[in-house]
Structure 1
Amino acid sequence: MRKELWFGFVLMAIIVGTVVVFTPWGNITNGHLGLIMLALIVVAIMLGFPTAFTLMGMGVFFAWLAYHSVNPDLAVQQVLDLMVQRTYGVMSNDVLIAVPLFVFMGYLVERAALIDRLFKSLHLAMAGVPGSLAVATIVTCAVFATATGIVGAVVTLMGLLALPAMLKARYNVSVAAGAITAGGCLGIMIPPSILLIVYGATAGVSVVQLYAGAFFPGLMLAGLYVGYIIILAKLKPNLMPPLPESERHVALPAFAQQLAGRGRHAVLGLLRVLGGAAGAAVAKRTAAWQLLITLLPALVVAALLVTTYRSVTAPEAEVDTTGLIEAGISFSTYEEEPAGLIGQAPVEESATGLQEPPVEESETGLQEPPVEAETGLQEPPSDEPAELAAPPGAEEAASPETQESMEEAPPADAAGRLPAPTGFWVTLGICVAALAYIYLRWNWERLEVFKMLLASFFPLTILILAVLGSIVFGFATPTEAAAVGAFGGFILAAVYRFYEHWRAARRSGRNPATAVVTTVKELGVITKESSFLTAKTSAMVCWLFVGSAIFSAAFALLGGQELVENWVLSLDLTPTQFLILAQFIIFILGWPLEWTEIIIIFMPIFIPLLTHFQIDPLFFGLLVALNLQTAFLSPPVAMAAFYLKGVAPPHVTLNQIFGGMLPFMGIQVVAIVLLYVFPEIGLWLPKVLYDR
């Protein structure tokens, strides 16, 4: 029998044995029935029963037990009413509309062969970096994760693309497998993560703020992976040998071959042609176009710096708040930060206008965050300082000290702009130095690699940034942005497939118009497959929500939630100890269960306890996402390993894959610690954008 099966049976035996030993069978209450239900659902899922329908079945049975203990005559009717109410509550949750749209976008990108081009271009662009193939794999996984957020799809596709290339380059099998599995799991954390949408709908936390909070932790984790690969390749080059020159070679077009003989520097060569250099056999129009492509990085950086300069030097608009103060609103409530472990409590989405329609607890059972003390619009206390209610015109009679402090404000220039902060000039210096370094090394091969990146990396990145940017900066709700992203993914797939068929037609001498017909047929197949897979994935998530809603209702009716809360509170834990306990339980559950089951079944148990320990649900969600990503890499029941094993060559063993995953699991533990010690990594961006 395989080791993972032994592990599963042992874990089930421990769960069943604990229930049998510690349940007071002589004096069993409804609360004990709730805990038995919780243990049975874990065992049933581990045995392979369908999760959603197992949740519904157990929820219905135990809800009937709860109602029957009160009024046997009405038990059946009340259970049926409960099923209808909970199902309707899930159906009316608008947040879940974003799930099929983001999934559809990911499947379109996956089936349009965009990732193949992306990996090849990144592989060539990073040829000089130690462990370049592994680094390119992680970067490709990070980009692909932002387009799909489905772990299985990313790991499987990268196993088909990157693993053969790394094995051909004589990479260590464990290192190659670890890079693919770790990079593929980035979709759990990096927006638009489906996990964050499900957590937000379950915990009542804004998906917009979750996306903003997960952005930097996701980048930090990807950066830690890349840093580990580079350091390991430097210390042990035999694990990741440098690529041979034949693998780094890029075929040059005709004009570049002609100009390369006169000099290796591409920018100088193109300028010579535009300056009318004697003997240049390249048209000036071609040289001008290639020079424009070459200068694109500098132009983009310059545009961003100019926009940033205008933003940071713009004078602050003065807002007359006298009317608000006279109406009785105290600004001290905005300035105070509630006492807590890691920052202030979550703020309602009314600040951004992106609040999804709330779901009543009586309908869905999904925990909503407390509304009290979130808006900051309480009536001021009776002993409010008199200066907060100063009458209009009081500024005219301001004290000399106040006038002096106002005169010390930074002077604006003739155009009325404020001086730029030091950070802007530091950023400007770094950008100029980076551009100078890039253009000093800009030869003809690098120009061709950059053009390959323009055709693969940048279009997909622009689509992703447009989707996420519209969400984070408040231009669209997650549902609207997901719809635009799905349409953008379809357009990208159409353009890429048409370009491939058009080039193939030109090479073979066929009529290029046939590329249109071929592209339309292929797009039909891609759309059909993507739609089917999207419906399958979305149906699973929605049925899980329905089953979870019924299950959690039964658990609450039996008093299981109250029993768990009383037990945790009786331990007299500090917030840090509670976080460690919660994350440890979630980590253990990540071995036998999928993240959907953990979020939907167990988060409603933890969320109500966060208020008592003064923990921000948004911050807790970021820790949970990192934790579940770690669980995906934890042997012996690491789902990412089995995804990769399914597409790996026969000689790649499961133990080799597990061995490669362990260092990356350690890196994720480091990332969790960093996020806990420095919570601003996840909370700074939501605080800046949404005034949390």
Structure 2
Amino acid sequence: MTPKTLESGASLPVSASPSGKLGSWLMVLATLGFALVIGVEFINAVFYDPYEDDYFLFRLAGSLSHLEIAPLTYLMFGSLLVVLMMGLPLAFVTGGLGVMYVYLVGDANMLNIIPGRIFPMMTNSDLAAIPLFIFMASMLERAGLIEEMFNVVYKWMGGLSGGLATATILASTILAAMVGVIGAAVVTMGIIALPAMLKRGYDHQIALGSIMAGGTLGILIPPSILAILYAVVAQQSVGELYLGAVVPGLMLSGMYVTYVLIRAKLNPEIGPPVPPDERISLKEKILLLKDLIAPLILVMLVLGLLFGGIATPVEAAGIGSFGAMLVAWKHGAFSIASLKDASVTTAKATAMVLWIMFGASVFVGFYILQGGQDFITETILGTGMSAYGILFLLMVLLVILGMFLDWVGILLLAVPIFIPIVKALSFEGLFGLPAVPGEDVVLWFGVLYLVNMQMSFLSPPFGYALFYIRGVCPPDISMATIFRSSLVFLALQAVGLLLCILFPAIVTWLPNMVYG
């Protein structure tokens, strides 16, 4: 048995503790109850006519068919919240609840909704870009390019007050254009950049905040995995969404850098520069740039093919994956072992994303089939708020969801419901500023959603970036310090979101210029 250590130092089997016994009994009772339900329903299905009021002991199939959409809404999303708070994985919770409510509310024929929702996703070619971009990121990471990239930017910026934090943000921006995976960016930069900043006496909040904020840029800057998923769900062009996210992503990166440099200028002690004897000449800095040539060419090739309409997202991702293997080979990091590790990482990450997609699609698909979409739309539009008031409400809901759910779950649960609401609104501009053209609303809202998801990664108490960085922090840095370090950058992200709302051209200008 697994020992459980007590405060006194003694060891006690888990099953001998009161909580362990209670948990074991609850699991046994739950299993027996579930087996009883399955057995009774099996007997009903085999020996009793489902269309007659006749059954063995009880019949659950269709037992909630009388429910109106309002109580069904509270029941479905309330039960989802409860099981998520119990710590059960979202990938299986949404699908399991979806199937359960299909059975309880509908009939056997309604179970056809499950393959009907999943099969179109399985045949959507754009989704094939996800594993390819994840594989590309894994190969580049194993090639050691992230360390080289940070070293180059560090040497260039280290002489400035706050230079290491600035270098971290700039390196994270380049990294975002290479990988598009948040966890890898935050953890890797935390391992590389955090010790360097702490060694130089950087303020903990500046050091941690710059790593977390820079790492979240991967959600926004192409080739963002989340942008592909949004494009699939919202039936939006991936290329247009990528182009729409470029300017906001660079704008946020510039805001982070500006904040760090101003803070360090006003108070050099929070971000002291590298000592003069460790700095290098301009000639040496220029020579260092050769280390960035291969990855930058690869990024520009992939994004150039995509933005130019020469290749589809899948084709561009395939070229990027092959190019990543060539770059790894050039750096002496390509081997069968590294290829295997990258492939396993890709399979795990892709499986997680797809399982969440399938499960959430069944859950939301059933809810929409029952009239949930019309109920939510009428409820929100019936509040009498203006278009921008409703947009603000949707943004707040996304922030709240971001505190508790992961980004894939939020996308698949919220976006299919939010998109029809946004399409029904006209955004005429605030304070006399330009309006959002009707044909650009879905694109514009998509980028707002991506910026909002950046905020969710930094939002206490459960923002993912907070726990990613906690895993690589020294023990003396408390979780409270990590929370505080996120707040200023969270406010900067909110300002960036507000600018994208007030000035929609920040989002729509580049796609309109390229695609017309």
User: Which TM-score bucket, shorter chain as reference?
Assistant: 0.7 to 0.9
Unmatched tracts of structure 2, length 5 or more: 1-63, 428-440
Match of 1:38 in 2: 77
Match of 2:208 in 1: 177
Distance (Å, rounded) in 1 between the aligned partners of 2:497 and 2:342? 34
- Cα displacement string for residues 224-255 of structure 1 (whole angstroms, at most 9, x for unaligned residues): 0000011011001110112112331x4xxxxx
RMSD of Structure 2 on Structure 1 (CA) = 1.5
Match of 2:320 in 1: 485
Shift of 1:171: 0.5
**Are 1:192 and 2:223 counterparts?**
yes
Match of 1:460 in 2: 295
Q: Per the alignment, in what secondary structure is the counterpart of residue 674 of structure 1?
A: helix
Q: Per the alignment, in what secondary structure is the counterpart of residue 72 of structure 2?
A: helix
TM-score by length of 2: 0.83
AA matched with 1:595: W
Shift of 1:558: 2.5
**Are 1:56 and 2:87 counterparts?**
no
Match of 1:622 in 2: 447
AA matched with 1:225: Y
**Are 1:240 and 2:274 counterparts?**
no
Which of 370, 375, 397 is matched with 1:585 structurally? 397
Distance (Å, rounded) in 1 between the aligned partners of 2:454 and 2:188? 18
Seq. identity, %? 39
AA matched with 2:406: E
Shift of 1:45: 2.2
AA matched with 2:102: A
Shift of 1:474: 0.9
CA contact (8 A) 1:30 1:559 kept: yes
Distance (Å, rounded) in 2 between the aligned partners of 1:552 and 1:35? 14
Match of 2:505 in 1: 680
Which of 199, 204, 208 is matched with 1:168 structurally? 199
**Are 1:93 and 2:124 counterparts?**
yes
AA matched with 1:44: V
AA matched with 2:72: L
Match of 1:537 in 2: 349
CA contact (8 A) 1:467 1:484 kept: yes
Shift of 1:66: 2.9
AA matched with 2:358: V
AA matched with 1:205: Q
Distance (Å, rounded) in 2 between the aligned partners of 1:200 and 1:638? 24
Match of 2:475 in 1: 650
Which of 131, 134, 152 is matched with 1:121 structurally? 152
Correspondence list, 1:496-515, <5 A: 496-497=331-332
- Give the greater-gyration-radius structure (CA): 1
Distance (Å, rounded) in 2 between the aligned partners of 1:108 and 1:77? 46
Match of 2:51 in 1: none
Match of 1:605 in 2: 417
- Cα displacement string for residues 69-111 of structure 1 (whole angstroms, at most 9, x for unaligned residues): xxxxxx22431x2222222111111110110001110111111
- Cα displacement string for residues 107-155 of structure 1 (whole angstroms, at most 9, x for unaligned residues): 1111111111111111111133321100110011111111111111111
Shift of 1:35: 3.3
- Cα displacement string for residues 347-392 of structure 1 (whole angstroms, at most 9, x for unaligned residues): xxxxxxxxxxxxxxxxxxxxxxxxxxxxxxxxxxxxxxxxxxxxxx
Which of 309, 313, 316 is matched with 1:474 structurally? 309
Which of 109, 118, 121 is matched with 2:140 structurally? 109
Match of 1:84 in 2: 115
- Cα displacement string for residues 172-200 of structure 1 (whole angstroms, at most 9, x for unaligned residues): 11110011011111101111101101111
Shift of 1:556: 1.7
Correspondence list, 1:438-449, <5 A: 445-449=281-285
Match of 2:257 in 1: 226
**Are 1:65 and 2:104 counterparts?**
yes
Q: Per the alignment, in what secondary structure is the counterpart of residue 209 of structure 1?
A: helix
CA contact (8 A) 2:159 2:275 kept: no
**Are 1:670 and 2:495 counterparts?**
yes
**Are 1:566 and 2:378 counterparts?**
yes
Distance (Å, rounded) in 1 between the aligned partners of 2:186 and 2:462? 16
Q: Per the alignment, in what secondary structure is the counterpart of residue 49 of structure 1?
A: coil
- Cα displacement string for residues 424-455 of structure 1 (whole angstroms, at most 9, x for unaligned residues): xxxxxxxxxxxxxxxxxxxxx22222121212
- Cα displacement string for residues 630-676 of structure 1 (whole angstroms, at most 9, x for unaligned residues): 12111121211110110111112111111111111111111011111
- Cα displacement string for residues 434-493 of structure 1 (whole angstroms, at most 9, x for unaligned residues): xxxxxxxxxxx22222121212x2321221111111111111111110001111111111
AA matched with 2:124: N
CA contact (8 A) 1:463 1:485 kept: yes
Match of 1:140 in 2: 171
Q: Per the alignment, in what secondary structure is the counterpart of residue 238 of structure 1?
A: helix
Shift of 1:28: 4.5
- Cα displacement string for residues 400-422 of structure 1 (whole angstroms, at most 9, x for unaligned residues): xxxxxxxxxxxxxxxxxxxxxxx
Distance (Å, rounded) in 2 between the aligned partners of 1:668 and 1:100? 28
Match of 2:431 in 1: none
Distance (Å, rounded) in 2 between the aligned partners of 1:84 and 1:567? 30
CA contact (8 A) 1:131 1:240 kept: yes
AA matched with 1:478: P
Distance (Å, rounded) in 1 between the aligned partners of 2:100 and 2:364? 12
Structure number with the bigger relative contact order (C-alpha 8 A, sep ≥ 6) is 1
Q: Which runs of 4+ in 1 moved over 4 A?
A: none
Unmatched tracts of structure 1, length 5 or more: 1-24, 68-74, 251-444, 498-518
CA contact (8 A) 2:160 2:274 kept: no
Q: Per the alignment, in what secondary structure is the counterpart of residue 613 of structure 1?
A: coil
Distance (Å, rounded) in 2 between the aligned partners of 1:676 and 1:78? 41
Match of 1:506 in 2: none
Distance (Å, rounded) in 1 between the aligned partners of 2:374 and 2:458? 33
Match of 1:528 in 2: 340
CA contact (8 A) 2:69 2:375 kept: no
Distance (Å, rounded) in 1 between the aligned partners of 2:504 and 2:160? 31
Match of 1:263 in 2: none
TM-score by length of 1: 0.62
AA matched with 2:478: T
